[in-house]
Structure 1
Amino acid sequence: MTFTDWKDRSVVVTGGTRGIGNGIAELFARQGAAVLLTGRDADAARAAADGIARATGGRVAGMGVDLRVPEAIDAMAAEAVRLHGGIDVLCANAGIFPAKPLREMTADDVDEVLDVNLRGGILSVRACLPAMERAGRGRIVLTSSITGPTTGYTGWSHYGASKAGQLGFLRGAALELAPHGITINAVLPGNVRTEGLAELGEEYLRGMTASIPLGRLGETSDIAHSVLFLASDEAAFITGQTLTVDGGQTLPESLDALAPPTRGPGPR
């Protein structure tokens, strides 16, 4: 059996300065791919790229891209082509999750989340399409979430809407892209140990860990390996699909379901 040779593959990772996106970018670099990672802050993007390049010995570039600006997204795709000769993989990972109760939510709050998480992802796909179509192949992996498509959480109704919206986009896009040899799929992470999660506090982390059957939070590498598979040659016949990576978090109907089973009355 042969496996994907990532050498000379060009990979774009949005939201790659930290967290899940940083883990995705690092794994692709370790596999030999040429990576362009982006973040809203150009200095942070370059620093993250330099750090991964030093750690992996790989070809990694960083670029400041504001996903609320269509021209910036188009420039991202053009830079990937300039640097690495094309675009084989787009990991549309960038996302924000500011908490805001519905009663306090403003139109600007909604627009900010949808513009980055949903609109920015859609426009990233659109920008990378010409390079993939010229090559006659491509892989797109969206980072969605269990929040929205599967679960809900107080204060993140706009975030959940953006993540559920990604899956509506995914299914229509898969049909349009299939004739060009391009697949598009999504990973749905549960709670993953990142800087953003840590900012929610120890009480939140303890509660979430207690709700995961595998007994631990996810690591960025757990998500990165899932993305790597969906972007591989081995996943060529998978498109329009979602992969939940949550340690079983969405399985129990309540925390009581995680308690050790009680012994029944036995045979009669």
Structure 2
Amino acid sequence: MLPIWARGLAGQTALVTGTSRGLGEAIALALADAGAQVLAVARDPQGLAALAARHPAITPMAGDVTDDAFVDGLAALDIDVLVNNAGTNKPQPMAEVAVTTLDLMLNLNVRAAYLVAQAAARSMLRRGTRGAIINITSQMGHVGSPGRTVYCMTKHALEGLTKAMAVELAPAGIRVNSVAPTFIETPMTAPMLADPAFAKFVQEMIPLGRTGTPDDVAAAVVYLASPAAAMVTGTSLLVDGGWTAR
């Protein structure tokens, strides 16, 4: 028999949200490489088709996680692993944040994330599955930062949800954790990191001296989804190069 750290995710079905690019794309591919059948959720059918063409174990599911009817349908699926990845950020000084921006980020980063996690939990409880739920949060769910009041608020909320779900669902054998990345080179962060002054600030804040890659985050997700993390629940795995250790 293979050692626990090498058993992979064969026979598992993983649902990953926000998969058409960036972190979600890398996570979906990594889980598929680890043996899971991956249900890839995003609003962009073309992006999903391109992703599915890269791995035979990835099935595209076009849908919007802010659509309650779509999310309700997820509970009827057989989900063993959820990666709650869909989210957004619109950095602005607090005094300039519009109500529409506040509502957009609360709706996607908190409300939709909660309802998707709820749907996955219902699937696992219905089937008696000892599953894994992984919320993608951020180092900003552990610290504060100027221009990111709304983003920090939503990610702190998701960290709290992770802990509460972990305690509640542990008796059913369902593990709930978060992965909290630093600035990762993705299409969402590209405009921010294109500013030389901001890029310099980020580099100086990360003791390892570099921004992260999507594969850095995907590796953490595969670990938390796998049997190697069988005794890990209610925690946040910081993939931040040491940012929050300062």
TM-score if structure 2 supplies the norm length? 0.91
Q: How far off its partner does 1:66 sit?
A: 1.5
Counterparts of residues 100-115 of structure 1 (less than 5 Å) = 100-115=92-107
* 1:244 correspondence with 2:238: yes
Counterparts of residues 62-101 of structure 1 (less than 5 Å) = 62-78=60-76, 81=77, 86-101=78-93
Q: How far off its partner does 1:43 sit?
A: 2.9
| SS of equivalent residue, structure 2 residue 69 | helix
Tell me if the contact between 1:190 and 1:245 (Cα under 8 Å) persists in the aligned partners: yes
Q: Which amino acid aligns with 1:216?
A: R
Q: How far off its partner does 1:238 sit?
A: 1.3
Residue of 14, 27, 49 corresponding to 2:17: 14
Which residue of structure 1 aligns with residue 210 of structure 2?
216
Q: Which amino acid aligns with 1:23?
A: A
- The count of aligned residue pairs is 240
**Residues 88, 188 of structure 1: CA spacing in aligned structure 2 closer, same or farther, 3 A cutoff?**
same
C-alpha separation between the residues in 1 aligned to 2:58 and 2:191? 28
Q: How far off its partner does 1:42 sit?
A: 2.9
Tell me if the contact between 2:180 and 2:237 (Cα under 8 Å) persists in the aligned partners: yes
| SS of equivalent residue, structure 2 residue 70 | helix
C-alpha separation between the residues in 1 aligned to 2:208 and 2:92? 30
| SS of equivalent residue, structure 1 residue 184 | strand
| SS of equivalent residue, structure 2 residue 209 | coil
Tell me if the contact between 1:47 and 1:62 (Cα under 8 Å) persists in the aligned partners: no
| SS of equivalent residue, structure 1 residue 199 | helix
Tell me if the contact between 1:13 and 1:35 (Cα under 8 Å) persists in the aligned partners: yes
Which residue of structure 2 aligns with residue 180 of structure 1?
172
Which residue of structure 2 aligns with residue 32 of structure 1?
35
Q: How far off its partner does 1:65 sit?
A: 2.1
Q: Which amino acid aligns with 1:139?
A: A
| SS of equivalent residue, structure 2 residue 108 | helix
Q: How far off its partner does 1:170 sit?
A: 1.4
C-alpha separation between the residues in 2 aligned to 1:59 and 1:230? 20
Q: Extract structure 1 runs of 4+ deviating beyond 3 A.
A: none
Tell me if the contact between 2:15 and 2:82 (Cα under 8 Å) persists in the aligned partners: yes
C-alpha separation between the residues in 2 aligned to 1:230 and 1:6? 11
Counterparts of residues 46-61 of structure 1 (less than 5 Å) = 46-50=49-53, 52-53=54-55, 58-61=56-59
* 1:23 correspondence with 2:26: yes
| SS of equivalent residue, structure 2 residue 134 | strand
C-alpha separation between the residues in 2 aligned to 1:211 and 1:154? 14
Which residue of structure 2 aligns with residue 157 of structure 1?
149
Q: Which amino acid aligns with 1:138?
A: G
Which residue of structure 1 aligns with residue 136 of structure 2?
143
C-alpha separation between the residues in 1 aligned to 2:241 and 2:139? 11
Q: Structure 1, unaligned stretches of length 5 or more?
A: 253-268
C-alpha separation between the residues in 2 aligned to 1:60 and 1:90? 14
| SS of equivalent residue, structure 1 residue 243 | strand
Q: How far off its partner does 1:73 sit?
A: 1.4
| Alignment RMSD | 1.6
TM-score if structure 1 supplies the norm length? 0.84
* 1:127 correspondence with 2:119: yes
C-alpha separation between the residues in 1 aligned to 2:21 and 2:75? 20
Q: Structure 2, unaligned stretches of length 5 or more?
A: none
Percent identity of paired positions between Structure 1 and Structure 2: 34
C-alpha separation between the residues in 2 aligned to 1:30 and 1:197? 26
C-alpha separation between the residues in 2 aligned to 1:202 and 1:158? 21
Q: How far off its partner does 1:77 sit?
A: 4.5
* 1:189 correspondence with 2:198: no
| SS of equivalent residue, structure 1 residue 214 | coil
